[in-house]
Amino acid sequence: MRILGIESSCDECAAAVVEDGRRILSDVVATQIPFHAKYQGVVPEIASRKHTEWVYGVVEKALAEAGVRPAELDGIAVTARPGLVGSLLVGIQFAKGMAYSLGKPLVGVNHILAHLYAPQLEAPVAYPFLGLLVSGGHSIICRVEDFDRIEVLGTTIDDAVGEAFDKVSKYYGFGYPGGAVIDRLAESGDETAFAFPKPSLHKGEHRYDVSYSGLKTATIHQLEQYRKQGAAASPENIAASFRKAAVDILLSRVFRAVEDTGLRTVVAGGGVAANAYLRRVLAARSDLDVRFPPLKLCGDNGAMIAGIGCRYLERGESSGFDLNAAARVPLFRRIGR
């Protein structure tokens, strides 16, 4: 089964062809980062316009690189939720047009489930496992039952972790997108230079939740203090101390979930899964089977959409032409496609 996957939920315009839900025949990602950099964040209007300009070329390239003609496809998968509605609609309308004109099945997929499917494109991972999905839009710790079923154990009660990296970086003028810049600066900084607060560990139903607004405010406040005192803040030390605090918040919840669930396989995904400190600490847990998909499959891509789409289509599940975009999906309960 050869499936075309189209992804346009945020600032990556991506398309890929995947065979049998596993073998990547092509994977094209066109990033809009330079267009959003001067605003230090993704501007929804610019994102949807760029998707409109690029989607045809990106899909054409994905088909050409795979050596697959449109008529040879067995279906078209597209991200339907969650994401920026204007951006999602571009991919959805394009996928609908292709599916209709080619007479191929269409399947709309959940972006969160697709991220958690991504490691299956590298090597099979046995279900169930613990998923850590961390990006600019998500901070989710979940029990992944199967490709189409997760139980959300915890999520952020305010900012997503990547968003906190981006906002701190923006405030300090480190650069955009902030996560990678802070990570790089942090490598030569002293992580004990500043003691940033971590939210107190939640109890009961919130025991796996994370919160970033306090840490973000404290980090930003630190700069104000330094400026007031006239002392030069060391960007490296700020970055290292902030990175450690931000990632330790996540890790404490992951390790708690490992203890509680007994699951020994942890799969990390999303842009923040590229974080060097996060990877080092998780990889050091030799008692766990920790999987980090390659960077290209951590961030937004079409291959994960095509891969999971194939799983639905081989079960005979597809979407109608009334498929619509949704900005959000409900968390705190089992979620499906």
User: What is each CA distance from 313 to 93, 126, 162, 227, 318, in whole angstroms?
Assistant: 19, 21, 32, 58, 6
DSSP 208: T
Chain position whose Cβ is nearest to Zn ion: 300
Q: Hey, what are 49's tokens?
A: 């316009």
Q: Contact between 270 and ligand KG4 (CB under 6 A)?
A: yes
- Residue 95 binds which one of ligand KG4, Zn ion, none, with CB within 5 to 8 A depending on kind? none
d(CA 237, CA 229): 17
| Binding range to ligand KG4, per CB under 6 A, among 14-22, 160-168, 218-226, 252-260 | 160-168
Among 145, 168, 115, 161, smallest CA distance to 301 is for: 115
Name the minimum Å distance from CB 9 to ligand KG4. Answer: 7
- Residue 267 binds which one of Zn ion, ligand KG4, none, with CB within 5 to 8 A depending on kind? none
- Residue 275 binds which one of ligand KG4, Zn ion, none, with CB within 5 to 8 A depending on kind? ligand KG4
Q: At what angle do helices 213-229 and 161-172 cross, to 10 degrees?
A: 10
Name the minimum Å distance from CB 164 to ligand KG4. Answer: 8
Are 256 and 204 contacting, i.e. CB atoms less than 8 angstroms apart? no
The pattern of x and - marking residues 183 through 222 that bind ligand KG4 according to CB under 6 A reads x---------------------------------------
Q: Contact between 136 and ligand KG4 (CB under 6 A)?
A: yes
Q: Torsions phi, psi of 103, nearest 5?
A: 70, 35
User: How many chain residues touch ligand KG4 (CB under 6 A)?
Assistant: 19
Are 252 and 170 contacting, i.e. CB atoms less than 8 angstroms apart? no
Is the Cβ of residue 105 or residue 136 nearer to ligand KG4 in the bound state?
A: 136
Name the minimum Å distance from CB 274 to ligand KG4. Answer: 4
- Indicate which single residue of 30, 46, 85, 180 sits in contact with ligand KG4 (rule: CB under 6 A): 180
| Binding range to ligand KG4, per CB under 6 A, among 88-96, 161-169, 227-235, 281-289 | 161-169
C-alpha torsion angle, residues 21, 78, 83, 325 (rounded to 10)? -140
| Binding range to ligand KG4, per CB under 6 A, among 60-68, 85-93, 119-127, 267-275 | 267-275
Is the Cβ of residue 98 or residue 212 nearer to ligand KG4 in the bound state?
A: 212
Count H helices, E strands: the chain? 11, 11
- Give DSSP secondary structure letters for 265-332: EEEEESGGGG-HHHHHHHHT-TTSEEE---HHHHS--SHHHHHHHHHHHHTT--B-TT----S----S
Q: Is 216 helix (H, G, I), strand (E, B) or coil?
A: helix
Q: Contact between 300 and Zn ion (CB under 5 A)?
A: yes
Q: What b/e sequence results for 140-154 when a residue is b if at least 16 CB atoms lie within 10 Å of its CB, and e otherwise?
A: bbbbbeebbbbebbb
Q: Hey, what are 55's tokens?
A: 């989607």
Which residue is associated with the tokens 């839900």?
21
| Binding range to ligand KG4, per CB under 6 A, among 73-81, 134-142, 226-234, 250-258 | 134-142
Is the Cβ of residue 135 or residue 319 nearer to ligand KG4 in the bound state?
A: 135
- Residue 179 binds which one of Zn ion, ligand KG4, none, with CB within 5 to 8 A depending on kind? ligand KG4
- Residue 183 binds which one of ligand KG4, Zn ion, none, with CB within 5 to 8 A depending on kind? ligand KG4
- Indicate which single residue of 76, 130, 249, 274 sits in contact with ligand KG4 (rule: CB under 6 A): 274
Helix (H) or strand (E) run with residue 252 in it:
helix 235-261
Footprint on this chain of ligand KG4 (rule: CB under 6 A) = 10, 135-137, 162, 165-166, 177-180, 183, 270-272, 274-275, 299-300
Footprint on this chain of Zn ion (rule: CB under 5 A) = 135, 300
